[in-house]
Amino acid sequence: MTEPTPSGSTDTIAFIGGGNMARSLIGGLVARGHDPGRIRVAEPVESLRAALATDFGVQTFEHARDACDGATQWLLAVKPQVMRQVCMDLAPVAQAQSPLVLSVAAGITAGQLQRWLGGSRELAIVRAMPNTPALLGAGVTGLFASAAVDATQRKASTQLLAAAGTTVWIDDEAQMDAVTAVSGSGPAYVFLLAEAMQQAGESQGLPPQAARALVQQTLLGAATMLARLEDPAPVLRARVTSPGGTTQAAIETFEAGGFQELVGRAIAAATHRGRELSATND
């Protein structure tokens, strides 16, 4: 009989693609006690395979079929541009094994995955949109289940992604592009803000090390307040903004530059790009 891992799972997971997102998810899983012996990764780049094996003790393979053979859960973590070909190569194995298929690819729909994975058998497909803080267990994942996903598979998907942080189920698949734009890509927006604040601090005369420490802890402190306190963002912001003070001077400058509209346009562009990735890679 198969013994459960400390995280409670007896499933073998095959990651197809061992790049940035897979690495973050694998790091989160292993850190939370998932048996690395039950994690397989298919990745064509030898140096990435070696790093995954060394850092996390997972089994690595050059070819996707070898990783998938016998695995009960597949996590597709290749770029949207190659997903069609990857799935078509795996279709015979998918039809024979009927695994739970999870895809983290931006834009690519459950219907496309079902079509490319071929055959008459309807597969249980879950679209998952995690983000890279998964590496530290501090991520968030939006999840959407196709009609063929049963309650047990839904629970298994939640457990799998819970190793990466919190999970949010979405009922309407069309909203997955907005999830991607807000939280999938979101860490990059925060890093961009960190870069801009660091540069601006240095321009005002701060030593780089001091600017880095100030920016890092400010972002962490503000995010912790958002997460732990009941008060919404506008209330927290008001408490920093003394009338006629320094914060007001900065906020007025942001507003004059169209900050809110700019964020709206950026997230709309990312949402639109998700739809394009689906259409252009069909």
Ligand X SMILES: NC(=O)C1=CN([C@@H]2O[C@H](COP(=O)(O)OP(=O)(O)OC[C@H]3O[C@@H](n4cnc5c(N)ncnc54)[C@H](OP(=O)(O)O)[C@@H]3O)[C@@H](O)[C@H]2O)C=CC1
Contact residues for ligand A1CAB, defined by CB under 6 A: 106, 180, 184-185
Q: Which is nearer to ligand A1CAB, 20 or 54 (CB)?
A: 20
Q: Compare residues 46 and 150 and give the one whose CB is closer to ligand X.
A: 46
The rounded distance, in Å, linking the Cα atoms of 2 and 277 is: 40
Kindly state whether residue 37 participates in binding ligand X, applying the rule CB under 6 A.
no
Which residue has its beta carbon closest to ligand X?
19
- Residue whose beta carbon is closest to ligand A1CAB: 184
- To the nearest whole angstrom, how small is the minimum distance from the Cβ of residue 274 to ligand A1CAB? 8
Per-residue binder mask for ligand X (CB under 6 A), 51-90, x = binder:
-------------x------------xxxx-x---x----
Binding map of ligand X across residues 224-243, x = CB under 6 A, - = no contact: --------------------
Q: Is 129 in the site for ligand X (CB under 6 A)?
A: yes
* Partner from ligand X, ligand A1CAB, none contacting 43, C-beta within 5 to 8 A by type: ligand X
Nearest-10 crossing angle of helices 208-228, 186-203: 140
User: What does 271 interact with, of ligand X, ligand A1CAB, none (CB < 5 to 8 A by kind)?
Assistant: none
Residue 87 CA to residue 113 CA, distance in Å, equals 7
Cβ closest to ligand X, residue 5 vs residue 139: 139
The residue (of 105 and 211) whose beta carbon lies closer to ligand X is 105
Q: How far is the CB of 2 from ligand X (least distance, A)?
A: 26
Which residues are paired to 143 by β-bridges? 128, 169
Phi first, then psi: what are they for 221, rounded to 5°? -65, -45
Nearest to 149 by CA among 196, 203, 181, 102: 102
CA distance 117 to 95: 7
Tokens 């927290």 sit at which residue?
236
Helix 233-240 crosses helix 208-228 at what angle (to 10 degrees)? 130
Q: CA–CA distance from 215 to each of 148, 210, 221 (Å)? A: 46, 9, 10
